[in-house]
Structure 1
Amino acid sequence: MSATHLTDRRPEVGPDELVAAMCPPPRFDGVRFDTYLPDPAQPSQAAALTACREFARRVGAGRARRSWWQTLTGAGRQATGRPGLYLDGGFGVGKTHLLAAVWHEVPEPRAFGTFVELTHLVGALGFGETVRRLSGYSLLAIDEFELDDPGDTMLVTRLIAELTSAGVCVAATSNTLPDRLGEGRFAAGDFLREIHAMAERFEIVRVDGADYRHRGLPDAPPPVSDAELAARADAVAGATIDDFDALCTHLGTLHPSRYGRLVDDVSVVHLRGVRPAGGQDVALRLVSFADRLYDRAVPVVVSGAPVSELFTEEMLRGGYRKKYLRAVSRLIALSRGSAEPEQDGVRAARAGRTRPA
């Protein structure tokens, strides 16, 4: 067999498909509150689990009250208490697992997406149409919440205000407290009123712990030679192989909302000649690409530089540091998966929990 190339693919995703795809990625299909195993050494994890269970209960109860109120008046009605739950913590402590468990627990209709996917949805539908479509939902779950520029700040704070006023509950995860979003990226001080107004809508829950992806596990395998890379790609059904620079160029021709469709049916991604990203724009596309690979648990094999060197020291000192570190963590896990072909749940269980984020 011969491996195919991601650079030959030009997937299309329509607005209706974007809305229909607002659900947890395949990696989190089976997660529930009962499959989250708090680390006994980190009491905040058990506390976060309790807070998420209670929030999901309130969403369900609020949905019932809202349906009754709408039947009488045709209006939305917000659930009792703050309409938002905000899970703050480091990488790999189970925040996305808990967020997906909340989503699975609450009544339909409900939406789940990363912060980037949400902004892509607004870009595709327009602000008013996005509000119209989501206003009847019980929950909007936003993973990896981050504000990278003033435009995103105004867009998301306004969207959350509109939806929560319509009775939609919002749950989010992030590595940054909501009143500190945007720090190091733009003049956050100019937008403090909007940022603080958004933060007041959330109950903040801290989740502490070490990154499960690296807890007690070996380092990622070293890069292979170009010859071995080609041989491995040809030996696996559904594998792809691409020159790293060519893939970076190709990603620049696609809207990031298409990256998931780009790798939907791929078994293993092989990248030849990996090197540090050639600029901030390229690096941020690689972050989005890595997230979609991780969502789908697609293993990665590389030649050239190791994935841990994908982002330069200068990039890791800048405002997007947390995005880059998250991408490295995920790519190391995916690289390890290519050398150790186990089910993801088995690897996660060995790390001390079942399929966290």
Structure 2
Amino acid sequence: MARLAGTRAPAPAPKIPGLYLFGAVGRGKSMLMDLFHASLPEGTSRRLHFHEMMREAHAQLHRWRTQTPASARTDSGDPIPRLAHALSENRRVLCLDEMDIQDIGDAMIVGRLFQAITDLGVVVVVTSNREPDDLYRHGLQREKFLPFIALIKERMEVVELASARDYRLDRMKGMTVYITPPGPAADDWLTRCMTRLANGETPAPRILSVDERPVRVRAAAGPIARFTFADLCAAPLGSHDYLAIAETFDVVLISDIPCLGPHNRDEARRFVVLIDALYDHRTALICSAAAPPHELYPSGDGAFEFERTVSRLMEMQAESYLGQAHLGPA
């Protein structure tokens, strides 16, 4: 990284390769990026979350298409080079945290966008929980995405951060992860937990694309997501949606889990499937609920089947569970 202190080369592709830093959740990738960004001269580098960049990219494209008459456009019908200039803001280094491709709209433009940015001589530094070959692994039309993986390997040094220490677990130590009852005090605690885990990133709504359908995330910051119980279990979601959430996020916060029973059988069934997905992917859960796990579904049809969920909710509070590495897509 010290080589970036030199002057910017006008070559069509950067002489200094970029860096793709990947590794398990909580190993300090974002911390290293922050230290690197802070070490550069002011105005040299732009640092933002990958999803922030893609939101900005889509907003710019939409604005140009709707506000600029076709006769006044100077991009020969291709806005990507102009977009690359806008996103890099004339900086020599672009730092992108937590790259993860879930949306087909992102997948279809990210390769050309990265090529245009690096053609400007901008050095791109990326962090991700996934090695390049695992990006957008089960996405639609993935064959059109594969050239981007090749571009990463061509123009970036791919480095795995294999630290034995989980910094996420460090931040979660001492956290109460199961709060009763729901209400303003519990909501305030969930907000403080999310702020602590977000590592300085501002939470914002996000949309996951699952089987060409949108799954709305109330608030997300990197690999941290927040929902209400109604968002996840009163809506018509299924196992594929919960698997996508569990694969994408390593910490999920859920507020306002009610007592369950035959009266809300459908919501209870979805909650069981959700907890199974989170548990199987070692996703950390922080939640507020109307009762402790063993009292959530106290009696009635379905109470016996709910006992496995009770066991998992109990285990998911243990430090031994929280210390396990998050499991992404198989």
| TM-score normalised over the length of structure 2 | 0.54
Q: Does 1:110 align with 2:45?
A: yes
Cα deviation digits, residues 196-237 of structure 1 (max 9, x gap) = 1233211011112353222583563323224xx23677xx8x
Partner in structure 2 of residue 159 of structure 1: 113
Q: Would the alpha carbon gap of residues 92 and 137 (structure 1) be closer, same or farther in structure 2, given more than 3 Å must change?
A: same
Partner Cα separation in structure 2 for residue 186 and residue 130 of structure 1: 24
2:220 aligned counterpart, secondary structure: helix
Spell out, residue by residue over 1:293-352, the C-alpha distance to the aligned partner (whole angstroms, 9 max, x if none).
979xxxx9x9979x9xxx97654544x5431324469985799xxxxxxxxxxxxxxxxx
Q: Which has the higher strand share?
A: 2
Residues 1:211 and 2:166 aligned together = yes
Unaligned runs of 5+ in 2: 62-79, 192-200, 254-281, 289-330
The whole-number CA distance in structure 2 between the counterparts of 1:316 and 1:145 is 20
Superposition deviation, residue 262 in structure 1 = 7.3
Aligned to 2:72: none
Q: Is the 8 A contact 1:78 1:166 kept in 2?
A: yes
1:302-341 matches, within 5 Å, as: 314-318=240-244, 321-327=246-252
Check conservation: 1:147, 1:153, Cα contact below 8 A.
yes
> In structure 2, what is the Cα distance between the partners aligned to 1:204 and 1:186?
25
Which one of the candidate residues 144, 166, 181 is aligned to 2:135? 181
CA RMSD for the aligned pairs?
Answer: 4.4
Partner of 1:8: none
1: CA distance, partners of 2:284 / 2:220? 7
Scaled by the length of structure 1, the TM-score of the pair is: 0.50
Q: Which amino acid in 2 is paired with 1:176?
A: R
The 5 Å alignment of 1:272-311 reads 283-286=215-218, 289-291=219-221
Give deviations 1:147-204, integer Å, cap 9, x for gaps. Answer: 2244322311111111111110000011111233110222423432343123321101
Q: Are residue 199 (structure 1) and residue 153 (structure 2) matched? A: yes
Equivalent of residue 83 in structure 2, options 123, 130, 138: 130
Bigger relative contact order (CA 8 A; separation at least 6) = 1
Matches of 1:128 and 1:224, distance apart in 2: 52
Q: CA deviation at 1:85?
A: 0.2
1:98 aligns to what?
32
Q: Determine helix, strand or coil for the equivalent of 1:200.
A: helix
The residue type equivalent to 1:222 in the other structure is Y
Contact 2:177 2:286 in 1 (8 A): no
Distance 1:211 1:164, change over 3 A: same
Query: Tell me, what secondary structure is at the counterpart of 1:93?
Result: coil
1:59 equivalent in structure 2? 4
Q: Sequence identity of aligned pairs in percent?
A: 23
For 1:203, what is the secondary structure of its paired residue?
strand
Write the distance in 1 (CA, Å) between the matches of 2:284 and 2:214: 16
Counterpart-to-counterpart distance in 2, 1:87 and 1:147? 16
> How far apart, in 2, do the equivalents of 1:116 and 1:284 lie?
14
Give unpaired runs (5+ residues) of structure 1.
1-54, 67-74, 241-258, 264-276, 336-357
| 1:139 and 2:102 aligned | no
Deviations 1:57-113 (A, max 9, x none): 12222xx253xxxxxxxx45654342x101111111111111111211223232111
Q: Please name the residue that 1:88 is paired with.
A: 22
| SS across alignment from 1:164 | helix
How many pairs align? Answer: 223
| Equivalent residues of 2:224, 2:250 under 8 A apart | no
Measure how far apart 1:143 and its partner are.
1.0
Instruction: Decide whether aligned partners of structure 1 residues 303 and 147 sit closer, same or farther in structure 2, where only a CA change above 3 A counts.
Output: closer
Question: Would the alpha carbon gap of residues 210 and 103 (structure 1) be closer, same or farther in structure 2, given more than 3 Å must change?
Answer: same
2:140 and 2:174 mapped to 1: Cα distance?
38
> Is the 2:49–2:222 Cα contact (8 Å) retained in structure 1?
no
Larger fraction in helix: 1
